[in-house]
A and B are shown apart, each in its own frame.
Chain A
């Protein structure tokens, strides 16, 4: 079974709002002190891929990432948790979801795959469209919001999260799964020796322009402005000598403000 997991390398989405700045020229955030990380739901997708391989007792996990030629951190991390292969597709400039799906679609046609995994949405632009777009570009089905999956009898069984629980679904191969977070798919920690090994492994270097063969997919959308919203809420901090007093004061204020 060949599993391909798509990883996007992004600025750490957990940086506090007060440190978040925008470069108006590029309409992108500035990096500042933020580190680069694998987009959180893509980490969940990577974990699901590794678990699928373990459960099947066979299979190959390929991690693929698009970005500037220096952006291989996500792939090194994937190799450190024992992805079998890593592919980096070099592309310069801003790559939006439509372009990303077209590039990934072209790359997948060069790779063997049974299952493609993507995070449900990237932790930067939050569009959440690459997985479904990719399914369309490959002409295969898409199961969204998966938390766990396994390979059984030539098909995929997956847990798909719903509003009040989950569906157990069966999908034919090949298929695109988009992954959402659950307690069962937090990405494992790599072993120190595997981190060192990963640094020495080869990463296949492909070019987006070559893959697309001169076609430039028109994204059809344009970001006109990017700005930081102002929100003004004045927090009334309840003071007191001890916790009981604070609790009592809070209760009174809640009552005065008719909140309860």
Chain B
């Protein structure tokens, strides 16, 4: 039976939450194709049974595990050779990766090796007369393309948070197979990590925040971000930024929200001094409510916002923070 194969690149960690969404997407496509959903779990020190059961509960029909100390880090020079062997062995119809840094680095290289095509950063799939059609935002989100892979397996990377995980069902069962005939060789590793530097981010992690206050070019400087942090503290919110603010050096890159930054889905996104370029909006397309504060009433951000204030943020934010604090006491 043909299969849709979702790669879960675990490295040293477990299977992250985003992979459950990927698996949900894989399962829906597999159902439409009349195929099975397979998950390939790659990493080091993996609890194959434990992690495998979890993947079965979230929609996999079969789980294949490659467990090797050399897979501790998701190094694309090593992982691509492993993924290639797994694909040649399992012969899937469609291969899915998450469109995160690891998937972005790996999927194209796998496509080259398998001599097939791929579509990146897909947000939906349709099956039409047995043909898989991927929907991909292009031109920074200003347009959508429907893309077909003409060779097999088709490969696609799936936008983070674009697909819903299936409801967890412990009653689901399936086979968990440890693939012990997959070669992994230390000589494949070419790039050495000399140091791993974490940049401290104040407050709540952007990906977890229910409310996010985010600033753009209109903020005017690094120190001016203090006003956003003040409001965020009052709301228990995370603080994000547009690419413009990162390029200006006002905030670290880890705060960048957008097509090439973080993809987030808070219930409220307060965009301050952000013009609303489509590339930025792509990062908050899952936000339930956008509130725009921008001194330019013609800024595109208002086209995406539920509530808007066309006013300088410098006067709005302190007053807004105070008013919300009062109201939230009630």
Contacts and interface: CB of A to CB of B under 8 A. Distances in A.
Interface of A: 13-14, 16-18, 20, 22, 27, 29, 41, 97-98, 101, 120-121, 123-129, 132-133, 135-137, 141-145, 147, 157, 161-172, 175, 180-184, 186, 218-229, 231, 233-238, 243-244, 246-248, 250-255, 257, 259-260
Contacts of A164: 198-199, 201, 254
Most buried by A among B80, B142, B252, B312: B142
Given A136-B112, A225-B145, A237-B308, A168 B198 contact: no
A231 B304 contact: yes
Interface in B239-280: 243, 246-249, 252-254, 259-260, 262, 267-268, 277-279
Contacts of B235: 260
A169 B109 contact: no
Contact of A225 (B146, B198, B324): B146
Contacts of B129: none
Interface in B278-330: 278-279, 289-292, 297, 300, 302-312, 315-317, 319-320, 323-324, 326-328
A47 B198 CA distance: 24
B14 interface: no
Contacts of B108: 97, 128-129, 132-133, 136
Contacts of B304: 231, 233, 235
Contacts of B327: 251-252, 255, 260
Interface string B159-194: 000000000000000000000000000000011111
Given A170-B194, A172-B190, A223 B147 contact: yes
Interface residues of B, number: 92
A169 B73 CA distance: 13
Interface stretch (B36-44, B47-55, B113-121): B113-121
A254 B307 contact: yes
B226 interface: no
Given A125-B138, A169-B191, A183-B249, A237 B302 contact: yes
Contacts of A182: 246-247, 253
B148 interface: yes
A247 B309 contact: yes
B65 interface: no
B139 A246 contact: no
Given A222-B147, A244-B315, 6 more contacts: A120-B104, A142-B109, A145-B105, A170-B194, A235-B308, A252-B323
Nearest to B99: A128
Contact of B143 (A128, A166, A226): A226
Given A237-B302, A257-B289, A183 B247 contact: yes
Contacts of B254: 163-165
A181 B247 contact: yes
A242 to B, nearest CB: 8
Contact of B140 (A13, A163, A168, A233): A13
Given A129-B120, A132-B105, A224-B133, A237 B195 contact: no
B197 interface: yes
Given A224-B133, A255-B327, A144 B101 contact: yes
Most buried by A among B195, B199, B292, B307: B307
Contact of B196 (A18, A165, A170): A165
Contacts of A41: 260
B267 A259 contact: yes
A169 B290 CA distance: 38
Contacts of A16: 300
Contacts of B117: 98, 219-221
A133 B109 contact: yes
A253 B137 contact: no
B230 interface: no
B76 interface: yes
Nearest to A11: B139
For the complex of A and B, list the 4 residue pairs with the smallest distance between their C-beta atoms, beginning with the closest: A220-B117, A183-B249, A247-B319, A251-B323
B292 A235 contact: yes
